[in-house]
Amino acid sequence: MDVPVKRKREEDEEDSVEEDKNYEENNLILRELAHQRRKRKEESSAFIKDGTTIYMTALDYIQNPPSHLLSFRQLMYEDLLENPRSPKTLISALLTTFCYEETFIAPLLKQGIKTCLITESSSPGRFNISEGFTIISPRKEVSWGKFHAKLFLLKFPDKLRVVVCSANLVQYDWASIGQVVWFQDFPAGYSRENSFLAQLQRFLVKVMPISYDMKEHLGIDLENYDFSNPKVELVCSVPGRTPDLANSGQARMRRLISQTGNTYSDLLIQCSSLGKLNRKVMGEFCKSFANNLLANYEIIFPSLRTVENSHLGKGGGGTTFIKEEHCNAAEFPKKALRDIASPLEFPQICKHLSHSKVVIAHNNYEIDDDTIFYFGSHNLSPAAWGTWEKNSTRIYMMNYEMGVLFLPKPGSKAMKKEMVRRLPFAVPPPKYQENDEPWLIDKHLN
């Protein structure tokens, strides 16, 4: 008679052990989930979303990547974490680019994200590809003008993310060469018109055909967001001749920088394409970017040696342009050219080329509250920034471009030093070696 009782006790003990085991397993799972939530919160907080800094694209080959790298996919997530378990809250997207790959933007379309793509084409117009996907190609003033802006408007449930960068919508641009990305999240609300909002509206009016209503197709109404605290000024270029010197290319730069009352002794300029430059053109750029016609300037542009030794070799130099004819012209500022090198604090970001476009107005590399930074799509060319006409009372623009400008601000020294730290190249840049020559695409790329 005792046997069943003993068996019952053994079964109770086994059940108890099993329950304890399950309890421990559940506890481990809960602790792991709590750890993941804490880690996720810490990672999310590492991303600064208020527009006070810049990010670099997440290049594929970087070992031990630093925290200031950002992918295109991450920008599409509200929390920027690109976690498969993250809720996909992106509602619609306006994307502008010089060129694109269908495969690169396909994930947005497959997820049903309403998308408008504005891009360069020899055939201007509006093309309704599907119910939720429209392509627009703006009209240009001249055949050699380009639509070159990289602006994204990303609508989330209670905010609008405004992104300005130097990368096109192709995998190569986001994974293989250095780029700079700026963005700021603007909350739902209302604000009186300011210069940031006015510039954004002006640019969109110029690139959108009358037949396309962004509010109707994307649900994006700029009047429904609070733009009262932008951390930057927008600098746009739109094609045409205009006496409006407050809104166009380098004329806008000149107006904004001269209004600070500061002059700068030095300029650092980095870009992926150099146009037809001479003493007059560079003097105008110095006046516009440094408020100083005689500013010293350095131009970061890779040498042939640097391109050959980069991860992709000469084949990777296809997005880096100077024509041999322009470079060999008598007044081309060849002595101002500097090579590209790894960022000083991040030697693992090495052997790459940069497609970013950066201007820094400084005094002997003293980064302080007054230092000025530009980031965006403008290369160093009259086509991008505009040509002065009629004794500088009119400016002639050829390209569509978009950039952001950080002006002097009390207490911004640490923020600006951090931006220098996050650039995809060394500041100050190294000089060319004795036998170096600049990378000339029409001479060196077979």
Domain final position from 189, 224, 259: 224
CA dihedral 138, 141, 143, 146 (to 10 degrees): -50
Give residues with Cβ within 8 angstroms of 72, minimum separation 6.
57, 104, 167, 169, 174
| DSSP β-ladder status, 114-119 and 133-137 | parallel
Whether residue 409 is annotated as binding a ligand: the answer is no
Structure tokens of 232? Answer: 């930057």
Domain final position from 167, 193, 224: 224
User: What's the angle, vertex CA 294, arms to CA 429 and CA 435, rounded to 5?
Assistant: 35
Structure tokens of 385? Answer: 């920034």
Q: Does residue 211 share a domain with residue 254? A: no
Residues of the chain with pLDDT under 50: 1-19, 23, 33-45
H or E element, residue 160: strand 159-165
Assigned domain for 16 exists: no
Q: Are 59 and 68 in contact (CB under 8 A)?
A: no
Q: Does residue 198 share a domain with residue 103? A: yes
What's the confidence (pLDDT) of residue 42? 42
What's the confidence (pLDDT) of residue 143? 74
DSSP 297: E
* Three-class DSSP category at 156: strand
Assigned domain for 14 exists: no
Assigned domain for 45 exists: no
For the chain, the domain total comes to 2
Q: Does residue 174 share a domain with residue 244? A: no
Q: Does residue 296 share a domain with residue 395? A: yes
Q: Measured between alpha carbons, how far is 408 from 360 in angstroms, rounded to an integer?
A: 12
What's the confidence (pLDDT) of residue 13? 44
What's the confidence (pLDDT) of residue 85? 66
Q: Does residue 286 share a domain with residue 337? A: yes
Assigned domain for 162 exists: yes
Q: Does residue 409 share a domain with residue 297? A: yes
224: amino acid identity, one letter: N
What's the confidence (pLDDT) of residue 349? 87
DSSP 88: -
Whether residue 357 is annotated as binding a ligand: the answer is yes
N-terminal to C-terminal alpha carbon distance within the chain: 96
- CATH number at 161 reads 3.30.870.10
Assigned domain for 9 exists: no
Q: Does residue 338 share a domain with residue 372? A: yes
Q: Which domain holds residue 316?
A: 233-444
> Considering just the CA atoms, what is the radius of gyration of the chain in Å?
26
Q: Are 138 and 118 in contact (CB under 8 A)?
A: yes
CA of 330: how far to CAs of 270, 278, 387, 432, 443, in Å?
22, 8, 20, 19, 18
* Three-class DSSP category at 118: strand
Q: Does residue 253 share a domain with residue 166? A: no
Q: Does residue 171 share a domain with residue 284? A: no
State if pTM tops 0.75: yes
How far does CA 230 lie from the centroid of its chain? 16
Q: Are 310 and 340 in contact (CB under 8 A)?
A: no
Average pLDDT across the chain, whole number: 90
Q: Are 372 and 264 in contact (CB under 8 A)?
A: yes
Assigned domain for 49 exists: no
Dihedral pair phi/psi, residue 95, rounded to 5°: -125, 130
Domain final position from 224, 253, 286: 224
Assigned domain for 198 exists: yes
What's the confidence (pLDDT) of residue 1? 40
Q: Does residue 242 share a domain with residue 219? A: no
Assigned domain for 42 exists: no
Q: Does residue 122 share a domain with residue 144? A: yes
Q: Does residue 246 share a domain with residue 114? A: no
* Three-class DSSP category at 406: strand
Could you give the residue numbers annotated as active site? 148, 355
How far does CA 259 lie from the centroid of its chain? 26
